Structures are given as structure tokens and as C-alpha cells.
Amino acid sequence: VAELLLKTEDNRQLFDAVRHLLPQQQALIWQVFYEEKSLAAIARESGVTEGAVRHRLSKIYKRLQSFLK
């Protein structure tokens, strides 16, 4: 039970951090983790390179880390 509570708390903190992202950043996180789209597919749909998607994700991850510290 304690493990489940800790996991629930971690999920809540992550969800709260994602809510602080810009809408476009939230959408990218949604596509990657919930829709499980490949970076190549996201790049095609967005009209950018796969490298640009990777760069955007890198910036998002850094921002999330700052919220979760």
C-alpha cells in the first residue's frame, strides 16, 4: 500500500509539472508518451525534422526536471 501511495504521489507531481508547460509542449509530451508516436511520425506531422523534435523534448525534459526538484 505504501508503494502505491508513493507512486501515486510521484504521478501527481509529474502531472502538476506537465501542467506548467506551454500548450505545445504538453501536446508533444502527449504524443510521445500517451499516443506512443515515433519521433519520425511527430516530425512529419509537424513539418519539422526529427532532430527538431528531439531538441524540443530535451528542453521539455529540462523544464520538467526544474519543476520536480
Could you read off the pLDDT of 13-44 as tens digits, one per residue?
Answer: 888 899 999 999 999 999 999 999 999 999 99
Q: Is 53 exposed, middle or buried (0-12, 13-18, 19+ CB in 10 A)?
A: buried
Q: Is the pLDDT of residue 2 over 80?
A: no
Can you give the pLDDT at residue 24?
Answer: 96
Q: Is the pLDDT of residue 4 over 90?
A: no
Give the three cell numbers for residue 12. Answer: 501527481
pLDDT above 90: residue 67? no
pTM over 0.75: yes
* d(C-alpha 3, C-alpha 36), whole Å: 26
| Interval 1-17 mean pLDDT | 75
In sequence order, which residues have a C-beta less than 8 Å from that of residue 28 and are 6 or more positions away? 42, 53, 56, 57, 60
